[in-house]
């Protein structure tokens, strides 16, 4: 892992993502880039055009500038050592700009969407799952509440024999190798030989933590994973993100959608 990209916006919550990404970059010897990207207020405020665009534009531009300044203050507070790169996504086609930047990162650090956060600035709908699907890069998604000083001591690895699960497990190796405990969880019908093969692969990859195997049913998998994470004291959930893109709109599987909506711990996802 040599390149980490963390998305920041104008919300104070960006400081949590930036701090997590900064610690990880130092641990891995990776270059960290903080990418500021929000939609222009004009595009996110249809009422502006209705009320007279020429009159509203100076006020909207002022809002955009204030948001950028807040994000820059958060960045400067985190970048006292000067080892984080500041970058800005293009506002004319924000989703495409975020996607292009993601292509050159080994890991994305993103925030769970919070519809109640009025300070963040407007973001593209379904930004997190869209970036996962379009870029093919793994993402560490941070909940919009909570402080996470340590991530990866107790890892819950959701598994079934699919491309998405394999990609997530591979992306999680830096955490799995240093974990104190790894919990493997999967559907009952895949719990036998597939889990044994996974355990052998983890050992080959240098994962020496004790392994504990769990099972979940086929119903409400997302809720079951989050419940199990709480029961075992997990500080990182690793899982594949399932779904597909239709006309740039990601249709998520039920478990992925539930976890992204209700997550209470950092989640490492790969599509």
Return mean pLDDT, the chain: 88
Instruction: For residues 133 and 137, give the distance between their C-alpha atoms in angstroms, rounded to a whole number.
Output: 8
Question: Per CATH, which fold does 154-270 belong to?
Answer: Rossmann fold (3.40.50)
pLDDT digits (tens, 9 = 90+) for 125-149: 789 988 998 999 999 999 999 999 9
pLDDT: is 120 or 180 the higher one? 180
Query: Is pLDDT at 237 greater than 90 in this prediction?
Result: yes
pLDDT: is 259 or 252 the higher one? 259
Cα–Cα distances (Å) from 215 to 37, 138, 236, in that order, read 39, 24, 17
> Which segment of 120-129, 140-149, 163-172, 199-208 scores lowest on mean pLDDT?
120-129
Query: Is pLDDT at 259 greater than 60 in this prediction?
Result: yes
Share above pLDDT 90 across residues of the chain, in percent, rounded to a whole number: 66
Query: Is pLDDT at 20 greater than 90 in this prediction?
Result: yes
Superfamily grouping for domain 3-142:
HUPs (3.40.50.620)
Q: How confident is the model at residue 192 (pLDDT cuts 50, 70, 90)?
A: very low
CATH 3.40.50.620 domain range(s) in the chain? 3-142, 154-270
Q: How confident is the model at residue 116 (pLDDT cuts 50, 70, 90)?
A: confident
Query: Is pLDDT at 248 greater than 90 in this prediction?
Result: no
Query: Is pLDDT at 79 greater than 60 in this prediction?
Result: yes
Q: How confident is the model at residue 236 (pLDDT cuts 50, 70, 90)?
A: very high
| pLDDT score at 120 | 81
Q: Please state the rounded mean pLDDT for residues 220-231.
A: 93
């Amino acid at each position: 892992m040599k390149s980490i990209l963390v998305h920041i916006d104008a919300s104070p919550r960006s400081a949590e993502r930036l701090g997590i990404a900064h610690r990880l970059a130092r641990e891995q010897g990776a270059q960290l880039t903080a990418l500021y990207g929000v939609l222009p207020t004009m595009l996110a405020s249809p009422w502006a055009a209705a009320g007279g665009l020429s009159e509203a534009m100076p006020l909207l531009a002022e809002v955009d500038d204030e948001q950028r300044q807040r994000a820059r203050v958060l960045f400067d507070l985190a970048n006292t050592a000067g080892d984080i790169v500041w970058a800005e996504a293009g506002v004319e086609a924000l989703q495409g700009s975020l996607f292009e930047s993601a292509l050159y990162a080994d890991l994305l650090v993103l925030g769970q969407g919070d519809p109640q956060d009025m300070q963040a600035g407007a973001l593209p709908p379904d930004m997190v799952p869209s970036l996962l699907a379009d870029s093919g890069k793994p993402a560490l998604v941070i909940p919009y509440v909570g402080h996470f000083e340590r991530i990866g001591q107790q890892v819950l690895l959701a598994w079934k024999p699919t491309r998405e699960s394999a990609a997530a497990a591979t992306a999680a190796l830096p955490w799995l190798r240093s974990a104190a405990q790894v919990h493997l969880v999967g559907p009952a019908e895949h719990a036998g030989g597939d889990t044994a093969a996974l355990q052998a692969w983890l050992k080959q990859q240098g994962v020496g933590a004790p392994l504990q195997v769990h099972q979940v049913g086929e119903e409400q998998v997302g809720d079951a994973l989050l419940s199990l994470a709480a029961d075992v004291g997990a500080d990182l959930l690793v899982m594949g993100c399932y779904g597909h893109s239709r006309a740039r709109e990601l249709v998520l599987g039920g478990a992925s959608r539930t976890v992204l909506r209700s997550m209470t711990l950092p989640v490492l996802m790969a599509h």
